[in-house]
Amino acid sequence: MSFMEKLNQAWTKNNSLVCVGLDPDLNKLPESVRNEPKPIFAFNKAIIDATHDLVCCYKPQNAYYVGFGAEDELAMTIDYVNKTYPEVPVILDSKRGDIGSTAELYAREAFVRYQADAITVNPYMGTDNLKPFLDYADKGVVILCRTSNPSSAELQELVSGDKQIYQHVAEYAQTRWNYNRNVLLVIGATFPEELGNIRKQCPSLPFLVPGVGAQGGDVEKVLENGQTPDGKGLIINSSRGIIYASKGADFAAAARQATIELRDLINKYRRGA
């Protein structure tokens, strides 16, 4: 099953647009898992077991694993989802961007080594750096477009021709880069008007939307501007707000409750939910 097929099924089966970001900072893990042989995996497994029926995706951020020398625990995490909850897709958040054989190996890392269903990529170097990822037709390629960080405007709002840079990225994503119908865009929740503009440019592309919760994105405005006519089209990510909902031994139960609350808030503004 392709990433897009899995995503559509998860949207429907779990009635959810929520993506849980698995960003396990080793220094913030609850005491109850710190002494485990593989503490990051133990933490992730508990979160996954508690939330798998409430989400449309999981999104492990690569830096939280390589920064602690825990690549094996990243592999274990993705393998656990693939084997235990295969209906839930996994997006590897690596934001890769390079050309030639280097990009080919980054694609191999994500899709062959880690068996992720999708990966985030940086389009700054153009088609050369995207093609090795896009050629995996059954995998999702999530292209940075209008990101949620404050300084994103320094480049993304620059005008070239009659459009801002992020609008050019959206146009290429809709046309030139989407030859395998496996392209998604990253659009920050902190820019709801731009989200709406990009939805008009790209009426059917799924959007990965970070920035709700800790970064202050407004869920109602995200849904108003970003959902597709069928009430789908969005992967709304929350990381810290869910995985650190409690610092105690009840962290998994607290993560489940936080996921339910976010799912229900989103569904309040969804068409047909």
pLDDT per residue as tens digits for the range 71-120? 999 999 999 999 999 999 999 999 999 998 999 999 999 999 999 999 99
Cite the DSSP H helix spans in the chain.
Answer: 3-13, 31-34, 39-51, 63-66, 71-84, 100-108, 127-134, 153-156, 165-174, 192-201, 219-226, 240-243, 251-268
Annotated catalytic residues are 95
Is the pLDDT score of 215 beyond 60?
A: no
Is 193 within 8 Å of 242 (Cβ atoms)?
no
Which domains, from first to last, does the chain contain?
3-268 (3.20.20.70)
Range in 58-62, 94-98, 217-221 with the lowest mean pLDDT: 217-221
Provide Rg for the chain, Cα atoms: 18
What pLDDT, on a 0 to 100 scale, did the predictor assign at position 216?
Answer: 60
Q: Is the dihedral of CA 163, 168, 122, 199 positive or negative?
A: positive
